[in-house]
């Protein structure tokens, strides 16, 4: 009843930046409630559990938990787990089973303790429903109504497995000035998602084309340092309203700056005949800690 684990910082090349992730190996004997309790113990935005795959040609099954619930898909656990499995198994092509579907990740080793992974989304990002009115969104974010929207971009709910209320704001200063108003949050975001991904266009940044902030977990409205599932949803909105040309388009989203955890999420879309046919997410990850979970206490095990 001992389980090895690794902590990695994801969507960054630097330790103590990016989004930290706990990866628990050999987790086949853990029950759902145990995995949930372990995720609560780590108290990171997500903990991923690596288990034997259901299909022989796949490398692993991933179960992804926040401290409060299980997720069908998340980008930063997928990148972090893929990098670690690539380092451990010395392979560059990894097939992973998640609840949202099978994910094929391509990994590259950059050092003994770091690497890069990218993967195509198993679910094409798509429009889900209209967002709340701009005035109501502005109230929840502590902004003026005129700061909601960025050029032709307007709020909408999109999903690539996990729905997000995508909220473009006028500029980087507006993004940085967001101050959440918790009262009225659930009344405003009473559709399919109460998770908000605020973003803006960066015109003079060499490292990224967009900047973003994510507010997740309705009970606590925690800010997340790097949110791959939200970036995946954003691929759908940008394909519909921002990137008009057919072919491949690569872009980078910067997140976590306001938290002191700067992250860079790589994204890619491909359009054919004006239709989004492919979207992908990628980024770097680096090992920060390793250890062993001891669950031999019969009260826990």
Q: Is residue 299 part of a domain?
A: no
Helix ranges (H only) for 54-171 are 75-89, 134-141
What the block records as the tokens of 292 is 């062993």
Tell me, what DSSP letter sits at residue 261?
-
Residue-range definition of the domain harbouring residue 223:
126-282
Summarize pLDDT for 202-245 with one digit per residue, the tens. 998 989 999 999 998 645 658 999 999 999 999 999 999 999 99
Summarize pLDDT for 31-70 with one digit per residue, the tens. 999 999 999 999 999 999 999 999 999 999 999 999 999 9
Looking at the fold, whether 223 and 112 belong to one and the same domain comes out as no
Q: Is residue 44 part of a domain?
A: yes
Summarize pLDDT for 109-152 with one digit per residue, the tens. 999 999 999 999 999 999 999 999 999 999 999 999 999 999 99
Looking at the fold, whether 116 and 130 belong to one and the same domain comes out as no
The Cα diameter of the chain in Å comes to: 59
Q: Are 250 and 6 in contact, with CB atoms under 8 Å apart?
A: no
Q: Report the C-alpha gap between 62 and 173 in whole angstroms.
A: 38
Q: Within 10 Å of residue 13's Cβ, how many Cβ atoms?
A: 16
Q: Report the C-alpha gap between 266 and 102 in whole angstroms.
A: 20
Summarize pLDDT for 154-207 with one digit per residue, the tens. 999 999 999 999 999 999 999 999 999 988 898 999 999 999 999 999 998 989
- The pTM of the full predicted model, rounded to 2 decimals, is 0.95
CATH number, domain with residue 47: 3.10.310.10
Looking at the fold, whether 169 and 113 belong to one and the same domain comes out as no
Looking at the fold, whether 187 and 96 belong to one and the same domain comes out as no
| Number of domains the chain contains | 2
Backbone angles phi, psi at 259, to 5 degrees: -95, -5
Looking at the fold, whether 172 and 271 belong to one and the same domain comes out as yes
Q: Within 10 Å of residue 64's Cβ, how many Cβ atoms?
A: 25
Q: Which of helix, strand or coil describes residue 99?
A: coil
What the block records as the tokens of 267 is 């994204």
Looking at the fold, whether 93 and 74 belong to one and the same domain comes out as yes
**Among all chains, which residue has been given the structure tokens 């499995």?**
85
Looking at the fold, whether 154 and 108 belong to one and the same domain comes out as no
**Residues of the chain with pLDDT > 90: what percent?**
91
Looking at the fold, whether 130 and 91 belong to one and the same domain comes out as no
The catalytic site residues sit at 46
Looking at the fold, whether 146 and 269 belong to one and the same domain comes out as yes
């Amino acid at each position: 009843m001992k389980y090895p684990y690794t902590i990695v910082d994801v969507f960054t090349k630097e330790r103590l930046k990016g989004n930290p992730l706990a990866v628990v190996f050999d987790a086949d004997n853990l029950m759902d409630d145990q995995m949930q309790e372990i995720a609560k113990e780590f108290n990171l935005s997500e903990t991923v559990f690596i288990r034997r795959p259901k299909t022989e040609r796949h490398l692993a099954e991933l179960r992804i938990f926040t401290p409060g619930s299980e997720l069908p898909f998340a980008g930063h656990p997928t990148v972090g787990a893929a990098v670690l499995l690539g380092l451990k198994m010395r392979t560059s092509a990894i097939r992973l089973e998640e609840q949202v579907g099978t994910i094929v990740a391509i990994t590259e080793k950059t050092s003994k303790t770091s690497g890069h992974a990218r993967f195509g989304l198993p679910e094409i990002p798509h429009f889900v429903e209209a967002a709340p009115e701009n005035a109501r969104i502005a109230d929840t974010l502590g902004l003026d109504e005129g700061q909601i929207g960025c050029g032709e971009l307007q709020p909408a709910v999109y999903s690539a497995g996990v729905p997000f209320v995508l909220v473009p704001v006028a500029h980087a200063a507006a993004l940085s000035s967001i101050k959440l108003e918790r009262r009225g949050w659930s009344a405003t975001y009473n559709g399919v998602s109460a998770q908000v991904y605020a973003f803006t266009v960066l015109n003079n940044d060499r490292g990224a084309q967009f900047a973003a902030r994510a507010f997740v977990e309705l009970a606590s409205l925690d800010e997340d340092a790097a949110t791959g599932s939200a970036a995946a949803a954003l691929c759908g909105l940008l394909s519909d309203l921002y990137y008009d040309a057919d072919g491949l388009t690569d872009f980078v989203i910067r997140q976590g700056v306001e938290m002191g955890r700067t992250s860079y999420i790589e994204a890619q879309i491909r359009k054919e005949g004006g239709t989004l046919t492919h979207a992908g997410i990628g980024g770097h990850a680096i090992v920060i800690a390793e250890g062993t979970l001891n669950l031999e206490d019969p009260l826990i095990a």
